[in-house]
Chains A and B, each alone.
Chain A
């Protein structure tokens, strides 16, 4: 029954869930193709500054995983690539992967950076949420895996200075996209999430007022490797904010906006960011405006208590009605009903950080349709069954983990990554039956 059936798996998405799944399949001796559309694996976790509830540095705990993946003999990393098509069935899928031209030969580039030094083009750095700058030839972050440069051809002016600067002749500005085809026995979808587009809430001022930012921008601002080298400043005037307000449940638990579900991570990442803000500026004050504090994971409630008691983070229960800007100061005034006292309050802050909810990533619908994978009403991949198949999809041989199935924090994504790997290897070991 299993003659010549492919003994390998495809993992789509190189975030922490996909990485975990890839490692757990590879450790059993099966080959894994790990496809990631960005130039580096690492996903959102690589962008985050610290993690809750231990305040560990995110990149620091992720890096060993990245290098483990890169040196694993059974894992082939295909970055800057997207799945083109999938045909076949469990045990024998035929996969086409489009490899976008990165204009740098991955096998030759050593990541030395000579090219970027020469490059005359500076563009906004998407890894830093466009706050900082990068060159048109770049690595997204210091621990990028593979540690290889990529030419952003949209912004490249074809001056050829990088080509000359590269002592290893790794740069080829005429490189073409290629297609890779292979067979796999099982597929894991680990395509993650994106943040809700909060410009959808004009009353909160994001996009209009310089000192209203969102949580991921905050992460980059407090990150030592970020655009301000870890100095928390207001983007409007470069001042250090003393009073910061965090607004919760934006693009989450909101039926009108089509996001009726809870995003699971925003309460905790905001409490963490609130604590970090006080770490950066000990005489500052931080307020969190929330609906319910959902500190449900291991050690979360204890962390919430610590934020209140030890760090003095102030919590106000109430949905923020609007944010107004003081013309001269650039300060923001929040109008909110404190539902515990039934008072409408106006509170002034130097900086507002909005905590956007989690939504399916761009391209999810297209990919799911192309692969014929069933989605749930909210756009995520539909799991087969809550108890019988929480990491299985409705298509046999295709599994799902991490936020591709719905919002999850890191440990839940990691557990699901391992679980999906287990299911995939059962298929691989049985030849698809």
Chain B
């Protein structure tokens, strides 16, 4: 990671937060697909990265994204009990608290990260999640202002 993060902020236009969205393949990625096929409209700010399971995500992935300049990180997986891999999402949830503490200690507002559950049929829930974190992060402003 040698490349310098770039500033996308342009003073002439409204600042748009950049959000990394990690989605599990079986529930939330499919839910995002359904949001598309249902033509549910939501903010363009999130870039979805597909992982098999939220259990794949160690805190490093969230921290690295924030470090590289993401203004917010969304992690979206299957509802507890519905995990395609039985319990990966529970592992993700267990790590979450620890991760939140870590970013707080680094001086980053924990409201920049969001863990949500959205099943393959909950397109609206997924879209709402993206909307909420986008609005939340807009209020907080660019992450560059926060890193200590």
Contacts and interface: CB of A to CB of B under 8 A. Distances in A.
B6 interface: no
B37 A306 contact: no
B34 A54 contact: yes
Nearest to A275: B39
B38 interface: yes
A279 B39 contact: yes
Contacts of A279: 39
Interface in A242-298: 275, 279
B39 A56 contact: no
A55 interface: yes
Contacts of B39: 55, 275, 279
Interface in A346-391: none
Contacts of A306: 38
Nearest to B38: A55
Interface string A83-94: 000000000000
Nearest to B34: A54
Interface in A24-59: 54-56
Interface in B45-61: none
A54 B37 CA distance: 6
B128 to A, nearest CB: 13
Contacts of B38: 54-55, 306
A224 to B, nearest CB: 15
Nearest to B40: A310
A306 B121 CA distance: 14
A275 B37 CA distance: 12
A363 to B, nearest CB: 35
Interface string A54-67: 11100000000000
A283 to B, nearest CB: 15
A275 B39 CA distance: 10
A240 B37 CA distance: 24
A275 B38 CA distance: 10
A56 B37 CA distance: 6
A304 to B, nearest CB: 13
Interface string B6-46: 00000000000000000000000000001001110000000
B145 to A, nearest CB: 37
A350 to B, nearest CB: 22
A282 to B, nearest CB: 10
A56 B35 CA distance: 11
7 contacts: A54-B34, A54-B38, A55-B37, A55-B39, A275-B39, A279-B39, A306-B38
Given A54-B34, A54-B38, A275-B39, 6 more contacts: A54-B37, A55-B37, A55-B38, A55-B39, A56-B37, A306-B38
Interface of B: 34, 37-39
Nearest 3 CB-CB pairings of A with B = A54-B37, A55-B37, A56-B37
